[in-house]
Structure 1
């Protein structure tokens, strides 16, 4: 499949670029280089004035995308854009993220400044009780009535006809770039895991003979955050994946399994102004479940530019300029695995905000100077309960241990996208701190993992191990 046409290529500022033949697959993880910091790293650094940004996904398998996450997760995900929109991008959010109670808590109890721009808020009838096709129809109907023409950007766009005139970027192009099946078209295959099979849909995958080498990774090709991914270490697990995905309508790919010792998220920005250079925003190390689902990440503000030799040059001088030539701009990231032989593999594209965007922007802007371990957490209780347990940790200051980028509330349940804060000399304290957060009533898979495993090294330190 060819990438959708988006008009003639734009002229862009070009730096010196190493040839592809000079790039090697062996990675050297070196200490961070000092990059000049932008004065305001945010969505506004890369999108034009007036952009309306929705960090959202279609539900189910609408618009050729596989999304099995519950609606309440979609709502906290969309709310992350509030903390990193910048001066002229307007976030589109669900009503639960601007609930009067959460706004009072953030402003009065936690001392947090309000968002720089008033968001566009979807109707309160679109809440976590609404799912599947009905949720999609309601969101599309609402968006078509409140968006300006040619200003809308959506993380994973709806392809409904009534929204096509609202998009600033060709939605088919974003859809194409986010589909993993297309990665070999803009990333040299030498830097990708070996592709064993491409199937048009789950039925074709289920009917294919189970002769792929194991271990292997089965992925719904258009999905995110580890959704629709199965690591199959045996033929039996592969057959189970075939049965499980048999009814999936979108494409299925089978890739080589990389036995990774490091798991990075590399965040980039392609400015809408073609005269501005493409930028690497920062690097985080990712926390995932054994199945590969993203549950959080680690950010060290003093070492945001870990140089993973080969990856940085490949992205800055080859992959991202090629994407810009297609007509795409904005913020996004790539997931990169490094194996025990220090070989790197680019495994997933994310041409949209990711779970780490808000935290990396926070670190780049100097809002938080401690190390961050991000997580999504749930707290049950009323305002008094929440403030008593959470406020002492989250108030800005020298003793702050919790940084909240998004907070939603509905029927006595608070949900947050946040980070546990710790100094570089406090790595040994991470399990204890995670345990204390859990003891306060926070529920979080990432915190449970940190309590159990802790954290001994950072992604930018040579010779570090997980």
Structure 2
């Protein structure tokens, strides 16, 4: 590749100076996300190409010299103050060192309870919890952009008879996402089953009953909040394997994010900015059949579609293709062999790797290496065909 792919926003628009990316989290803090041991470290290998000039703490499985070389060859600008760790203890020690030099930690998910002083965090932990709590969404979003919703204790919800289909969501200050603590309920049978499911999750005492509204498109909108304003970073439409279970993200030129959705995203971000939030955020925003926009979830952190949204304009320009799809594959082949197999697609310009992980360097990965990235195509159907072909090439057989 002969030129860098520039994301939709510059690093200084997204993060304050002296910010350090510390994504290594704990299973206790992510128990309502369904995290497994491997996720504690794989999450540190995200957002390459978006953090030039920043200090970062990343697990070595996602930041080898060979991996960094592939990113640069593909046109991603990777110019970080990179700190590599092998164990959780090493990650926290590196964070201590950066804090001692005046950095503040940027964390997508809560860090170990009480491990770092609040003065060393970019966002105070109480503010992070407040902004990400689903039951506090009405503090941020205008009432006309919310579905009908009620917050109940488990006992109150058990005695309640909903008037039609509802969504049950875990309330409270724990980190949630990926549909792990969400249940769609179409009748009393599924309602009580969903309620029992949530009651069995650790720490869930209250639930949200959210009206099931008719939505024909749902997007993930990305913003960046800095000291002076809120910048819109891009969008991607969400795809679902089943109700509430996100399976991936796409960019479909035939279903663009509405302009008033950008304004709504900035409005929410401005409310958070005044409270002290800084950094990347995203919102799940659906469009009802009558055109009204509805905000379902707050994500005051980067999301699964952030990188797709931010690299799409540059990838579309480079490739001449207008549709895009997020891609992820995990398999038993050595990462070096996977790289050899996807390089032709990357060199042709229709695939960009955004996360590479060498499973041989991460015991929790159980030998599985990972390739995550962006597939471009002439249409959504074309991206699906290309993604299937790429996954087939990466298969061990």
Decide: shared fold, TM above 0.5.
Answer: yes
Secondary structure, aligned partner of 2:236: strand
Residue 67 (structure 1) aligns with: 33
Q: Distance in 2 between matches of 1:381 and 1:265?
A: 32
Q: Where does residue 118 of structure 1 map in the other structure?
A: 81
Higher strand share: 2
Structure 2 gap ranges (5+): 1-5, 361-366
- Of 125, 131, 140, which aligns to 1:186? 140
Q: Which of the residues 207, 211, 219 maps onto 2:169?
A: 219
Counterpart Cα distance in 1 of 2:126 and 2:244: 27
Matched, 1:402 2:355: no
Range that drifts further, 287-296 or 52-61: 52-61
Residues 263, 152 of structure 1: alpha-carbon distance in 2 compared, 3 angstrom cutoff? same
RMSD: 3.1
Q: Contact 2:169 / 2:209 at 8 angstroms: preserved in 1?
A: yes
- Match for residue 262 of structure 2? 312
Cα distance change on mapping 1:233 and 1:324 into 2, 3 Å? same
What CA deviation, in whole Å up to 9, does each residue of 1:205-260 have, x standing for no partner? 58732512342111123402322111112211121122222233044322112232
- Tell me the equivalent position of 1:95: 60
Q: Tell me, which stretches of 5 or more residues in structure 1 are unaligned?
A: 1-37, 127-136, 444-466
Spell out the pairing of 1:43-442 with structure 2 (5 A cutoff): 43-55=11-23, 57-61=25-29, 66-86=32-52, 88-100=53-65, 102-103=67-68, 106=71, 111=74, 115-121=78-84, 123-126=85-88, 143-144=95-96, 147-148=99-100, 149=102, 151-158=104-111, 160-163=113-116, 164-199=118-153, 204=154, 208-221=158-171, 222-247=175-200, 248-250=202-204, 251-272=206-227, 274=228, 277-299=229-251, 306-309=257-260, 311-316=261-266, 318-365=267-314, 368-369=318-319, 370=321, 371-383=323-335, 385-395=337-347, 399-411=348-360, 412-423=367-378, 426-442=379-395
Normalised by the size of structure 1, how large is the TM-score? 0.71
SS in 2 for 1:289: strand
CA change 1:282–1:215 in 2 (3 A) is same
Size of the aligned set, in residue pairs, is: 375
TM-score by length of 2: 0.83
| Contact kept? 1:296, 1:376, Cα under 8 Å | no
Distance 1:118 1:294, change over 3 A: farther
Deviation (angstroms), 1:442: 4.9
SS at match of 2:80: coil
Between the aligned partners of 1:403 and 1:94, the Cα distance in structure 2 is 21
Question: Relative contact order (C-alpha < 8 Å, sep 6+): which is higher?
Answer: 1
Cα 1:139–1:235 change in 2 (3 A) is: farther
* More displaced stretch, 143-152 vs 214-223: 143-152
For residues 382 and 7 of structure 2, what CA distance do their matches in structure 1 show? Answer: 32
